Chains A and B, each alone.
Chain A
C-alpha cells in the first residue's frame, strides 16, 4: 500500500469530464444498451434495403434503379431515421445516464469525489452523444451505400444529399441526448417515461402540426436542414426555415438543455434524502 501523503488537489474540469467519459463509454460497450442500439439500427436498415430491392425485382434500367435507390434513401431517412432512430438512440444512451446511477445508488461514488458535478453531467452526456451520433450517422452512410450498391455513379452523385441529412441527424442526436440527460437529471426515477412523452408529443406530434406550431419541434427544423419534403397536416402552411437559423436553434437548445441538466445535478440531493 502506498504511504499516505494526503489527497491530491481537486482535478480540473477537463480531467473530470475525460474520466467520466471513459467510465461511461466502458459501461456502454459492456452493457446491453449498445447491443440494443445496434439491433434497432440493423432492423431499420434491413427493412429499408429490403424494400429497395424488392421494388427492383426483375429487370430494371439504370435510371429506374437510381430512382428506386433515391426513393429508398429519402424515405428511409425520413421515416426510419428522422421519425424513429433519432429519437430511439439518444433515448437509449442518455435518458438513464444520471437516473441509473441514482437509482442503483452508484451516484454516491461520483458525487463524493472532488470532480465537480458539472463534469459528471457533461462526461455522461458526451459518451452517450458520441455513441448516438456514431450509430445514426454510420447507419445513414450504410443505408446510402446499400441502396446505391448497384448504381456506382449515382452512389457518388447523391452522396452530398445523404451527408447533409447525416449532419442534420447528428445535430438532432446531440440535442436529444441533452434533452434526455436533462429529464434523467430532473426525475431519475421516471426518466424514461418523461423523456419518451416529451419526444412523442413535442418532437414527433408537433412536427406534424400545421403552421408555426411545427417550429416548436426541433425534429422539423432538422428535416428542413436535411432538405426533406414537408409532410403532415397542411404541410404547405409550415414555414421554411433557413439552414443557418435551423442549425443554430438546434445547437442552442442542445446547449441549453445540457446546461439545465448540469444545474439540476449540481444542486440535487437526489434520493440520498430518503432515510
Chain B
C-alpha cells in the first residue's frame, strides 16, 4: 500500500445549473475509515463522484493521492468506487463482471480471475459467483459491487451507501472487509444517512448538509448533538390511532404524530422506545407493516448546524461541539401541531 494514500479538497464546489450541489468543501483525509454523513440530497454522492473522477469541479480542486482524478489513469488506478445505484451488467456472471473490471485496472486475465474469485469469496459470494447477476438479490448485488471496488487493492475506497439492502450476515462480511482494508493503509470514505452505520465502523465523521461541510469530528460529538434532537421512529400499522394513544404515556417519548399509514414517534431514548413499541404492538394485537427510522432527526441536526455555521461558528471540528438547548427543542416539538 502506498504511503501517500489521501484525499485532499480545496474549496471544492459543484453546481448543476443554478443549483449548488457542493460549496467550498476543504478537507484532508488520510488513511483510515471516514464516515460521510448527511441527509438525502445533501451532496454526499456529488462529493464522492468528484473524488472518484466522475465529475469535474466547478470551482476548487480535488486531489486523490496527489492527482486530479477526472479521466486521469494515474489517480483512477488507486481508486475503488462502489456506486449507490443498483446497476450491474446483468448479462454477465458475478465472476465475469468483477474479472473484467479487474482487467480494466491493469491485471492480466488469469490474475484478474483469481482476484475476482478472492474478492467475491471475501464478501461471501463463493457459491453464487458463477451465476448471472440478473438473478441476484439486492444484498448479493451490493456485495458484488463491493467486490469490484476492492478487487485491485485500491489506496482510496469510496463507498456510496454500502450497507443498503444488506442482511445482517452480509453486513458483517462487509464491515470486516472494510476494516481490514483500512488497517492495511487505505483511505475508506463511505457515505450514509444512518448514524449507527457510521458508529459500527469508525469514530471519524464528516457531516455534510445542503452542499456544505458543516462539521468534522468524532461520532460521539455528533451523538451528543443528536441527543438534543429526539430520534424519530416511524411505525406503519393497521390501527395507528390506538397505538398512538398507548404510546403517549411511555417514558422517553416526547411526541407522537400521525404519518401516512402509521405513526411517527419522537424519543430521547430510542432503544427503550423500540422495546416499548414492540411490547404495545403485541399487547394490542396491532398488525405491523414496518418500523423504520427516517432521518428527520439528522435533518433537524443538520439544519441546526447549517444555521450555526451561517451565523459564524464556522465548519470543522468546532462546529460539532455546540449544543442546542434541549428545552428549547422540546418546547418546539411540543408546541401547536400534533405533538403530545
**In the complex where A109-B148, A275-B21, A275-B46 touch, is A10 in contact with B89 (Cβ < 8 A)?**
no
A61: interface (CB < 8 Å)? no
Q: How near does chain B come to A113, taking the closest CB pair, in angstroms?
A: 4
B104: interface (CB < 8 Å)? yes
B101 touches A109 (CB 8 A): yes
B16 touches A6 (CB 8 A): no
B81 touches A31 (CB 8 A): no
Q: Whose C-beta in chain A lies nearest to the C-beta of B70?
A: A269
B229: interface (CB < 8 Å)? no
A244: interface (CB < 8 Å)? no
A269 touches B118 (CB 8 A): no
B68: interface (CB < 8 Å)? no
In the assembled complex, which residues on chain B have CB atoms less than 8 Å from the CB atom of A275? 16, 19, 21, 41, 45-46
Most buried by B among A4, A10, A113, A275: A113
B293: interface (CB < 8 Å)? no
CA A5 – CA B107 in complex, angstroms? 13
Interface string of B193-234 (1 = CB under 8 A from A): 000000000000000000000000000000000000000000
Stretch from B48-56, B278-286, B306-314 at the A interface: B48-56
Interface string of B251-283 (1 = CB under 8 A from A): 000000000000000000000000000000000
**In the complex where A1-B118, A30-B91, A114-B77 touch, is A272 in contact with B55 (Cβ < 8 A)?**
yes
Pick the contact of B73: A6, A114, A267 (CB < 8 A).
Answer: A114
B19 touches A11 (CB 8 A): no
Q: Whose C-beta in chain A lies nearest to the C-beta of B92?
A: A26
B159: interface (CB < 8 Å)? no
Interface residues on A, range: 35 or more
Which A1-49 residues have a C-beta within 8 angstroms of B? Answer: 1-2, 4-11, 15-16, 19-20, 22-23, 26-27, 30-31
B104 touches A110 (CB 8 A): yes
In the assembled complex, which residues on chain A have CB atoms less than 8 Å from the CB atom of B87? 104-106, 108
B85 touches A105 (CB 8 A): yes
A274 touches B74 (CB 8 A): no
In the assembled complex, which residues on chain B have CB atoms less than 8 Å from the CB atom of A16? 104
A144: interface (CB < 8 Å)? no
Q: How near does chain A come to B314, taking the closest CB pair, in angstroms?
A: 26
Which B85-129 residues have a C-beta within 8 angstroms of A? Answer: 85, 87-89, 91-92, 96, 100-101, 103-107, 114-115, 118-119, 121-122
In the assembled complex, which residues on chain A have CB atoms less than 8 Å from the CB atom of B143? none
CA A10 – CA B104 in complex, angstroms? 8
CA A109 – CA B53 in complex, angstroms? 12
In the assembled complex, which residues on chain A have CB atoms less than 8 Å from the CB atom of B181? 4
Pick the contact of B1: A4, A105, A114, A274 (CB < 8 A).
Answer: A4
B49 touches A272 (CB 8 A): yes
Which B171-196 residues have a C-beta within 8 angstroms of A? Answer: 177, 180-181, 184-186
Q: How near does chain B come to A18, taking the closest CB pair, in angstroms?
A: 8
CA A108 – CA B145 in complex, angstroms? 11
A26 touches B77 (CB 8 A): no
Q: How near does chain A come to B4, taking the closest CB pair, in angstroms?
A: 11
**In the complex where A23-B89, A112-B76 touch, is A7 in contact with B54 (Cβ < 8 A)?**
no
A1 touches B56 (CB 8 A): no
A113 touches B41 (CB 8 A): no
CA A4 – CA B21 in complex, angstroms? 35
CA A5 – CA B186 in complex, angstroms? 11
In the assembled complex, which residues on chain A have CB atoms less than 8 Å from the CB atom of B77? 7-10, 113-114
CA A6 – CA B4 in complex, angstroms? 12
In the assembled complex, which residues on chain A have CB atoms less than 8 Å from the CB atom of B186? 4
CA A115 – CA B88 in complex, angstroms? 19
A23 touches B52 (CB 8 A): no
Q: How near does chain B come to A104, taking the closest CB pair, in angstroms?
A: 5
In the assembled complex, which residues on chain A have CB atoms less than 8 Å from the CB atom of B19? 275
Given contacts A7-B154, A31-B91, 19 further A-B contacts (CB under 8 A): A4-B153, A4-B181, A5-B1, A7-B77, A7-B78, A10-B77, A11-B104, A15-B106, A22-B100, A108-B87, A109-B89, A109-B148, A110-B104, A112-B54, A114-B74, A114-B105, A116-B71, A266-B71, A267-B71
6 pairs of residues in contact across A and B, judged by CB atoms under 8 Å = A1-B180, A5-B1, A6-B155, A109-B101, A116-B71, A269-B55
